A and B are shown apart, each in its own frame.
Chain A
Amino acid sequence: MPVFQLVLQSLPVLAAGALLTIKFAILAMVFGLAAAVVVALMGISQVTALRRIARFYVSLMRGTPLLVQIFVIYYGLPSLGISLDPTPAGVLALSANAAAYLSESMRGAILGIARGQWLAAYSLGLSRLDTLRFVIGPQALRLAVPSLANSLISLVKDTSLVSVITVTELLRSAQEVIATTFQPLPLYLAAAAIYWILCTILEALQHWFERHLALPGPH
């Protein structure tokens, strides 16, 4: 079968897979970012126990393969009586993993704000929480956006791992077509092109955010 025709014919299958990929990516981004804020705040907390818990969580999540985490949540938890469907199990694993990386970007950005900003805010009578919310947070966000985008773009591609828990996402859809057509290259390239398009959209968002948060005037 000519390559162009093959790719054209498999587009509906790939599109169905891409929809699943988008669903997992968006859900994991939302929950991952929310969890990352919590972990980052714990990471800069003045309470030693909270800092230790955050550091331990980040170490565990970054230090073990995502594939194993997905496996344990979906296949391991039922032996404890917790049986999750593929979607919650996949979203849970992806968000928990992404949260570790995202939280470090956030923590780094917060630490990157000059000490003087904290002191100035305190001298105006702001509490620690208000300082974070109104002075440090907005400035840190500007620093964090490029590396947050890094992790989120990685996350889009990491969703391909949920194929191991019965989800026929984009890459697995391509493999299903390959299994009967024996034309791996065009189909993998087609799948890669779709991932790229999805990530390009994220990049556009990133640049919009960067412009939005940029310091006024040339510098």
Chain B
Amino acid sequence: MPCYCSIRYQAKYMKISLLQKRLAVAVIGLSVASVAAHATDLLDTVKARGTLQVALEGTYPPFDSKNAQGELVGYDVDVAKAVAAKLGVKPVFITTEWSGIIAGLQAGKYDVIVNQVGITPQRKASLDFSPPYTYSVAQLIQRKNDDRNFKSLEDLKGHKLGVSLGSNYNDMAKAVPGIQVETYPGAAEELSDVASGRIDAALNDRLTLAYLLKTAPLPLRAGASVGDSTEMGIPFRQNNPKFAQALAAAIQSLKQDGTLTKISLKWFGVDVSKPAAQ
């Protein structure tokens, strides 16, 4: 879902000499650690450390959110735990905002993101992905008492459609000329604006919407599914062939031994770890 604006920001605003000066000015006990050189494969780093550092939002139910006890729970949390177990290491979770999550991966702040990251050609240009572990599709959501039935994105020409900032739904909506696309920080905000009538519909992940419709106290209903099936994978930094192989093997074995299916049934009642028939 991320846009690459954040990465462009870095390049644009990076004034190296100034930063160095500022660093020199600030008299702070900094724990400066140089980034692990690219020469060592991520797999060796992870094994040596004994932990897999997993980034997620922590505000994205039912994939990852905090329960009343403050523990991280959700489908992606369970998947990450299972993957780490297959790799023979312990998972360490790091919660951060979506807007910075890809930048953090590229800056080496953690090893992987397990947060329903859609596998897209643009993202594959700068990141490597595990094989898909979730299959879903984009879906419209409308007000309960709205008689109009938008069957496709074309039907929304001249109407207001809400999407999350930097999501692949954002790209889908913008690809259709004539739609007034409104961007929101997250699903909770766009759904409340559909409910209040400020926008005509919202576009999000079918799996998210099923959960939100069940739990959010808002007068909403599911609309039509639009576009092709989306595939979610686990992204990591490029040039880590051994890690790529180990991660792919872990996902494969979780699919074969039924673990992924079990986790999926627990959270969604349906198996989303295989390409959907619908």
Contacts of A38 in B (CB 8 A): 25
Of A64, A88, A96, A182, which is within 8 A of B218 by CB?
A: A182
Chain B proximity of A47: nearest CB distance (Å): 17
Contacts of B95 in A (CB 8 A): 166, 168, 176
The residue in A34, A76, A82, A91 that gathers the most chain B C-beta atoms within 10 A of its C-beta is A76
Cβ-based interface call for A180 (8 A): yes
Task: A174 to B33: give the CA distance in the assembly, Å.
Answer: 32
**Segment of A18-26, A65-73, A112-120, A145-153 in the binding face:** A65-73
Cβ-based interface call for A35 (8 A): yes
**Contact present for B31 and A184 (CB under 8 Å):** no
Measured CB to CB, the residues of B under 8 A from A are: 6, 9-10, 13-16, 18-19, 21-23, 25-35, 55, 58-61, 65-68, 70, 94-97, 99-100, 103-104, 106-109, 186, 188-189, 192, 215-218
Residue of A nearest to B64 (CB): A179
12 CB contacts below 8 A, A to B, read A77-B19, A82-B34, A83-B109, A84-B30, A84-B31, A84-B32, A88-B30, A165-B96, A165-B104, A166-B94, A176-B65, A182-B218
Would A88 and B65 be within 8 Å (CB), given that A72-B13, A76-B14 are in contact?
no
**Contact present for B65 and A76 (CB under 8 Å):** no
Determine chain A's interface SS by DSSP, over half rule: helix
B interface footprint on A56-89 (CB within 8 Å = 1, 0 otherwise) = 0100100010001001111111111111110010
Instruction: Give the interface size class of chain A.
Output: 35 or more
Contacts of A184 in B (CB 8 A): 188-189, 192
**Contact present for A64 and B13 (CB under 8 Å):** yes
Q: How many A-B pairs fall under 8 Å by CB?
A: 139
Task: A77 to B108: give the CA distance in the assembly, Å.
Answer: 11
Of B14, B59, B100, which is within 8 A of A176 by CB?
A: B59
**Contact present for A76 and B10 (CB under 8 Å):** yes
Task: A92 to B214: give the CA distance in the assembly, Å.
Answer: 43
Contacts of A180 in B (CB 8 A): 61, 65-67, 215
Task: A13 to B95: give the CA distance in the assembly, Å.
Answer: 14
**Contact present for B28 and A88 (CB under 8 Å):** yes
Cβ-based interface call for A31 (8 A): yes
Contacts of B25 in A (CB 8 A): 35, 38, 57, 96
Contacts of A77 in B (CB 8 A): 19
Would A166 and B26 be within 8 Å (CB), given that A72-B19, A85-B31, A179-B65 are in contact?
no
Contacts of A16 in B (CB 8 A): 70
| Residues 170 to 190 of chain A near chain B (Cβ within 8 Å) | 172, 175-180, 182, 184
Task: A78 to B38: give the CA distance in the assembly, Å.
Answer: 12
Contacts of B215 in A (CB 8 A): 180, 182
Given contacts A83-B108, A168-B58, 18 further A-B contacts (CB under 8 A): A13-B70, A16-B70, A35-B26, A73-B19, A74-B100, A75-B100, A78-B108, A78-B109, A80-B16, A81-B34, A85-B31, A88-B28, A95-B28, A164-B96, A166-B96, A168-B95, A172-B97, A176-B65
Residue of B nearest to A56 (CB): B18
Chain B proximity of A121: nearest CB distance (Å): 29
Contacts of A164 in B (CB 8 A): 96-97, 99-100
Task: A166 to B99: give the CA distance in the assembly, Å.
Answer: 11
Task: A168 to B56: give the CA distance in the assembly, Å.
Answer: 12
Task: A108 to B99: give the CA distance in the assembly, Å.
Answer: 38
Contacts of A75 in B (CB 8 A): 6, 10, 100, 103-104, 106-107, 109
Task: A34 to B27: give the CA distance in the assembly, Å.
Answer: 9
**Contact present for A31 and B188 (CB under 8 Å):** no
Cβ-based interface call for A9 (8 A): yes
**Contact present for A74 and B28 (CB under 8 Å):** no
**Contact present for B23 and A82 (CB under 8 Å):** yes
Chain B proximity of A62: nearest CB distance (Å): 14
Cβ-based interface call for A163 (8 A): yes
**Contact present for B34 and A182 (CB under 8 Å):** no
**Contact present for B14 and A72 (CB under 8 Å):** yes
Of B15, B103, B186, which is within 8 A of A179 by CB?
A: B186
Of B27, B31, B35, B104, which is within 8 A of A166 by CB?
A: B104
Chain B proximity of A57: nearest CB distance (Å): 8
Contacts of A176 in B (CB 8 A): 58-59, 65-66, 95
**Contact present for A83 and B28 (CB under 8 Å):** no
What 5 A-B pairs are tightest by C-beta distance, nearest first?
A179-B59, A166-B96, A78-B107, A75-B103, A76-B10
Task: A95 to B21: give the CA distance in the assembly, Å.
Answer: 14
